[in-house]
């Protein structure tokens, strides 16, 4: 991954950019966060994973 991701070290990062999609953007996530990108009928959305103590 790029420099921005390497700067996250043990943290979390989201990289988003404009693109030619229905929503007009795309993104990736990095790190041990609760956010997980999902595809919903061609739209990129974010779902939140349950907290570790809720599983």
Model pLDDT for residues 5-20, shown as the tens digit of each residue: 566 667 778 888 999 9
Q: 27-55, pLDDT tens digit by residue?
A: 888 777 778 888 888 888 888 887 776 55
Q: What is the pTM of this model?
A: 0.59
Query: Cα–Cα–Cα angle for 14, 17, 21, nearest 5°?
Result: 120
Burial of 15: CB neighbours in 10 Å, binned 0-12, 13-18, 19+: middle
- For 4, phi and psi rounded to 5 degrees? -60, -40
H-helix or E-strand containing 4?
Answer: helix 3-7
**Cβ neighbours of residue 25 closer than 8 Å, sequence gap 6 or more:** 16, 17, 18, 19, 44
């Amino acid at each position: 991954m790029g420099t921005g991701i390497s700067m996250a070290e043990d943290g979390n990062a989201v990289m988003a950019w404009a693109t030619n999609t229905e929503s007009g953007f795309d993104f990736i996530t990095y790190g041990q966060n609760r956010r997980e990108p999902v595809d919903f009928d061609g739209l990129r959305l974010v779902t939140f994973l349950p907290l570790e103590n809720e599983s």
